[in-house]
A and B are shown apart, each in its own frame.
Chain A
Amino acid sequence: MVVNKNQTTAGKQTGFALLKNGNVVMGLVTIAAFVVLSVIIPQFLTVGNIFNLLVQASSIGIPAIGLTFIIITAGIDLSLPTTMAVSAILGCAIMAKTQSTFLGVVSILAIAMFIGAINGISVSKLKMVPMIVTLAVSTVNIGISNYYTQGKSVSGLPKSFSSVFAGSIGGVLPISVLVFALVAVVMHILLTKTIFGRQLFQTGVNEKAARVNGVNTTKIIFLIYFIGGCMAGINGILTAARLNSAGPTMGPQSAFNNIVCACVLGGASVWGGKGTILGTVFGSIVMALITNVMNLMNIDFFVTYVIKGLVIIAVCYLDVLRNRVKGSR
């Protein structure tokens, strides 16, 4: 109960109540992991590695923030990674032709938003099943990406593109981490402080009651898929800048798994009605952390698969237990 309250209110809590908050526990676990790891692995706690970790986290976390909005309504968007790839490829092609960074960036965003809008209309207006629709859209994305590039990458981008979007402030703070933080703050405010956010939660908790409360649930559902598209676009800009090129391999379908795991680790429930941006940010850091630590410790990468799988199932089981305690009250 209390957990739920914390996730849906902006109320103040103190003491013991804080411990029952999923976010706080998640945060504490993350910090504890950081402390332990920096003791065990000497290379871990270096500025370079931490920012490297955060850059990895941002490429999971930005689309995961979009997916959080969608999961709150019990929806799903499988097309997030491929939307990122196709928008980056087409946008970069425009950028390479015109040598205009501005035009390129705007077109990446516009294409991603357009794809988000298609998903949104299909799910909200046409009432199609989110999983299959977004899978179909994703398949088309993959096709277009490959067809356009013939399996290669788009390069020849203006220098300013990567120097701005893959650069860093003062040579320390990478732009993508900064953008991740900004996006997280803006989306957190949108989710917790605005009418849209409250109506989104109403739609997720009880769609029928939300309609009685005067919420235009169709509009809300459309908007969240649209936002998902935006996030994919932002991620596309940052990733393309980092690679200084754009190709079909930058957004494989399987990347979706990391994204949804970040949301679920952060406390979002696939039944809908629950989810926080802060939690998702922690979730994406944990997902990046698992990979990062395995790299540093020279553990075979496939062990990370096993660990990620176990973590997902364990977290979901904890959620079941929490709900059971709630139900027995």
Chain B
Amino acid sequence: MSLGPHADFIIAAYALALFVVAALTAWVTLDYAAQRRILGDLEERGVTRRSGRESQ
């Protein structure tokens, strides 16, 4: 596959798209881990949601 005389522009476009997709993926993955960790900490300290208590 030859990218011709404008290979730099093509590679830059694909690199940017890859970076943005990787950043979005990292954001949802790390955010999920963080929220799960905080929820776990709160539950360990005995804090429950009102709806959680009612269902028990």
A-B complex is real: no
